[in-house]
Structure formats: structure tokens, C-alpha cells
Chain A
Amino acid sequence: MSSATTTAEVTSVAPPRERAKVLLPAILFLLLALAPLAVSLGMPAGWLALLTRALIFAIAALSLDLILGVGGLVSFGHAAFLGIGAYVTGIMITEGRSEALVILPVILVTCALFGAITGAICLRTRGVAFIMITLAFGQMVYFLAQALSAYGGDDGLTLYEKSTLLGFKPFASRTSFYYSVLIALGGAYLLVRGLVASRFGRVLRAARENPTRVSVTGFDVTRVRLVAYVISGMLAGLSGFFLANHTEFVSPAFMSWQRSGELIFMVVLGGVGSLHGAIIGAIAYLIAEDALSHLTEHWRAIFGPLIILFVLFTRGGIVGMLRKLGSRHG
């Protein structure tokens, strides 16, 4: 009875929502594509570097949203994938293999393997235990990176050159690096969105609401979740590749558990489960972090309470607020 009413409600509000689902991401990507123009119009050049960094984290946040928002699995070790991507890049460049077409497959395979092994163990548990186990696996990779004394250990590894693509150097110029990241983000967005819209995505979403019912229907919930976990990890590895090229430095701090917490916050800030929300959240987070850190060295003492207030008093993140604004005016 009640489920019938909910379905009716959902169908009745679906058309404007569907429109917003296309419109908002389209505007977002258009603005991002035009951003370098702002620099030529007088925005400080450092701003583009900040935005590049934001887009890199947006890839990671987007990948996290696939398992956290769509799958309902709170992974607290997602920075591990980012760190693996960055370390593979750093180590391979140090060893003289800077071709992206060599590095990327290695990253994807490593992240897929790590995701498959840890995911298979993590997914045996649910709820809080899942949060804690992903956290613990994240720490494991963190300590492993600390122990890599040949590659800087605790101090990290400085890269003296950037990765090349087919022998060219698209990452050398600030603008072309920006567009490379934007293209990767766009590709990742389309991929994840396609996945979510597919039957696979529907099963993943349904399992978030009621895993028992889904498994009774004949789907292997754990397998679907594991596949999502692995894909999500591979995408986060991709963002690690760009991050290493951007900062020209990798260190264990890339995968500290605080970094995983920040990724979760980016997703929640933007709006859980909406995909473009994760992108908006990452950009908003990095701009806020940058602004506050220019204000005081103790910016975390301001940022922490802001997070708490945000959690206590808002629902649906930035995308939710935009949607509310949109429905009020439209």
C-alpha cells in the first residue's frame, strides 16, 4: 500500500528531476571547460592549478560516490587507491618509464587486484565493520608506503619529470594539463553514469535499500558490490596518476585515513549519490580549504566545526540545495 504511493510520487516528480540531472552536469562541465578563459581574462594563474587539483580530487570523489552513494557502502579507505595510483606513477617515472600508456595499465591492474582482494574480505562484513575494515586496509597501504625506503619512505618521493603520452608532453603546459584532467573526469563521469543507469547499477542501488530482497530475486549481491568496489578503486587509481603528475611528489600522507575522510566529506558536501554532486563537492572543498588556509595556519580549527555544522543542519548537500532552489523558482 505505502510502497504503491511512494512509486506514484516518484513518477510524478521524475520529469523535472530528470531534466535537472542532465542540465546541471551539462552546465557544470561547460563552466569547467571555459575556466581557463578566466585566467586569460585576469584571474591569477595559481587559480588554474587549484582548479586542476580540484578536478583530480573530483575523479576520486566521483569514484567513491559509486560505492558510497549508489551502493550504500561507506568505504573509509578509499585514499589507498589514490595513493596506489600515485605511487605506481612515482615509482615508474623514477625508474625511467614515464609513458602514460605504460603507467596507466599498471595502475588499473594493481588497483583492481588490491580492490578484488580487500573487497572480497571487506564485503564479508556490513555496516560499521565494513567502515572499520576498509579503514584498516587503508592504513595497511599507508604503512607499506612508509616502509618503501628505496622510494623515500616516510619523506615521500619527489618526481623530476612528468609523465608523457605517446612521447608528447601534454602535462607540461598548465592549460593542456587542465584539459587532460577534465577529459579524464568527463570520461569517468560518463562511465559511472552509464553503469548506474544499467541493470548492474539498478541492482547495486536496490541492494542498498534491501539486500535480502535483491538476493532472493536471484542476484548475487556480494558479486555486484565487489565489481562496483573494484571499478571504483580503479578510477581512484586514475586520479592518483594525475595527482602525482600535478604535485610532482608522492608521499604516504596521500593515503592517510584523514584523506579518506576528506573524500567522504567531498561526496557528502556535494550531495550523496548524484555523481555530479561529488564533482561539485570536491571543487567546493578544495576552494574552501585553499581560502581558509590563506586566512590562518589553524584553518582546520575552523574547518572542523564547519563540517560538524554542515552535517547537523543540512541534508542533501549542495546539489540538494540547488534542487530546492530550482523547485522554488521553477
Chain B
Amino acid sequence: MTTGLLIVQILNGLQFGILLFLVAAGLTLVFGVMDFINLAHGVQYMLGAYLAVTFVALTGSFVLGLVLALAAALVFGLALEFLVFRHLYERDHLDQVLATFGLILLLNQGVKIVWGAAPLSVPLPAFLTGNVALMDGILYPTYRFALIGSGLAVGALLWFIVEKTRTGMLLRAGASNAPMVSALGVDIRKLFMIVFAFGTMLAGFAGAMAAPILSVEPGMGDTVLILAFVVIVIGGIGSIRGAFVAALIVGLVDTLGRSFMNDLLRLFMSAPSARATGAALSSMLIYLLMAVVLFVRPEGLLPARGRT
């Protein structure tokens, strides 16, 4: 375990955490403001990636493709809101879970029909290929730096909107007490449309940015959705700050666990059993983390309601 490798893995963990934050932020906002469980959030991430595949290939430009993919993801998300979600706000959580589960089945199969079942990829943009030398002999891909940077920029923008603008004020108020905000004369439906558009954009953006470094395939959103759930449960449901902190923790714990668990276990067990235990333990690590956090703090690390 060299320092160089450790630095590379910490960067990987940060990058993964930032992707998770982009997905979890939308999920937690939608839940916080409208008390709505959107299981289809993961397929919106997947759709962002697929749209990026198509538009980058079509335009031949990464940036243009990304922008078009985002716009298309937004339009699609709003269409879903109009067709399905709108009718579920007043229903109980069970109905929301089921209907959005039906959407997952439809969309996972839908991308298979449209794009085929084989994994696709997006070429790295020319201006972001290559590596950055961190220190002697330690290289880190430029694109991943760009991903970390743009994720942080979007996070900062989100922070600015939520903390400093009027819309953000309403969002925060809505997340703390939606009926009260509605009673004060705010059009809560319109507010939710904005929140929803926001969430869709963030998930789509995360998917599109991840497309060049992950394989784009049906079901890719499901894994991310579950991880995003873990993130918002650890962070405190409805809390953006909580989602940010928890996403970085989960990203780092997961990545570092996967790369160093074997070495750690080999200190006190044989190589084959360390490999077997390590594989099981590292995939379960974040769920264990979540269980511990909830055992100590059932409300999550930085709960949104009743902020003190």
C-alpha cells in the first residue's frame, strides 16, 4: 500500500462520492419537499447516460452532446411528472413505491429496446484525455479531475440556489414544513415542478458525466439508486448538506474498502480466505456503515427537520 496508490484511491472515492451526491441531492429534495418516494430517480440517471451516448455520437462534440442530453433528460422528466408523478402526490408511500417501480421496469426494458442490451460507451472528449502527473510516476486521468471539478461546481451552484435565492428559501421551508408553506400562499405544485426539474437535471447530469468512464447499460441506474438511498438515509432525509457529507463518506468508504480490504485482512488471515472475506465485506461495508449510523442516530447525521 503506497502513498501514491492511496492518493489515487482517495481521488476515486471523491469522484464516486460526487456522482452519488448529484443523484442523492435530487432524490432527497423531491422527498423532503413533497414527501414523495421516487424510485424512478435511478432510471433518470441511466437515461442521462444513454442520451449522452446518442447526442455525443450525433453531434460529434462532447460538450454539445452533454447539453442536449441534459435538455432531453429534463423534457423527459417533466413528461413523466405530468403523466405519472402528478397523480401520486396525494397517495400513500406504498402507491408511490409501486408506481415508480413499474416505471423502472418499463424504462429498463425500454432502453434495451431502443439501444440494445449490450453495454455502450462514450468516447472521452479530446480536450480531457490524458493524465495529470500527481507526483513521480503517479498519473491521474484528466477527465476524472474534470468530473470532480464540475461536480463540485454544480454542488456549489446548488448550495447557492438553495441557501441564497428566494426559490431556495421556499425549498428549504418546503422541506421543513410543506403544509405551512402552502398555507402561506406559495403554489406548492409549481414549487414541486421546479424541485423535480432540478432533481431530474442533476440525475441526468450525473449519468451523462459518468458515461465516458462507466459502461452504459440497462439497469445501471438501479445500483446507483440504492446507493443514493443509503446516502440520504445516512445524511438525514431531506437534507442537502447531509447528502453532501454522506455521499463523500460513502464514496470514500466504498472505494477504499474495495481496494484495501484484502491487504488489511491479509495481516491476520491467509490470502485465499482474506480474498473471499474481503470481497463480501467490502460490498457490504456501506450497508454496515448505514446500520451503525442509524443505530446511533436514527435521524441521520445532519437531519433537515428541526434544524438547530
Contact = CB atoms under 8 A, between A and B. Distances in A.
A163 B35 CA distance: 47
A135 interface: yes
Interface in B211-237: 222, 226, 229-230, 232-233, 237
A15 B211 CA distance: 61
Contacts of B226: 135-136, 139, 257
Given A301-B113, A304-B105, A311-B102, A127 B93 contact: yes
Contact of A129 (B101, B233, B276): B233
Contacts of A265: 98, 101
B97 to A, nearest CB: 7
B237 A128 contact: yes
Given A121-B294, A298-B113, A128 B93 contact: yes
Contact of A298 (B93, B112, B232, B280): B112
A124 interface: yes
Given A139-B226, A311-B98, A133 B113 contact: no
Interface residues of A, number: 44
A34 interface: no
A135 B101 CA distance: 13
Contacts of B39: 261
A133 B276 contact: no
Contact of B99 (A125, A298, A312): A312
B94 interface: yes
Interface string B241-272: 00000000000000000000000000000000
B5 interface: no
A307 B279 contact: no
B284 A144 contact: yes
B163 interface: no
A261 B101 contact: yes
A308 B99 contact: yes
A272 B92 CA distance: 13
Interface stretch (A6-14, A16-24, A146-154, A165-173): A146-154
Interface string B105-130: 11111101100000000000000000
Given A129-B237, A257-B226, A300 B101 contact: no
A70 interface: no
Interface string B279-305: 110011001101100110010000000
Contacts of A139: 226, 287
Contact of B229 (A68, A135, A307): A135
A51 interface: no
A307 B94 CA distance: 13
A136 B288 CA distance: 9
B51 interface: no
A86 interface: no
A143 interface: yes
**Residue from B84, B237, B294 with most neighbouring chain A CB atoms (10 Å):** B294
B102 A307 contact: yes
A74 B93 contact: yes
B99 A129 contact: no
Given A300-B106, A301-B110, A76 B97 contact: yes
B278 to A, nearest CB: 9
Interface string A115-130: 0001001001101110
A306 B106 CA distance: 10
A268 interface: yes
A131 B101 CA distance: 13
A140 interface: yes
B106 to A, nearest CB: 3
B197 interface: no
B105 A128 contact: no
Contacts of A133: 233, 290, 294
B280 A147 contact: yes
A143 B84 contact: no
Contacts of B37: 128, 131
A50 B305 CA distance: 49
A206 interface: no
A68 B93 CA distance: 12
Nearest to B279: A147
Given A124-B295, A149-B276, A131 B283 contact: no
A300 B284 contact: no
Query: Which among A125, A299, A303, A304 has the highest number of chain B CB atoms within 10 Å?
Result: A304
Interface in A288-317: 298-301, 303-308, 311-312
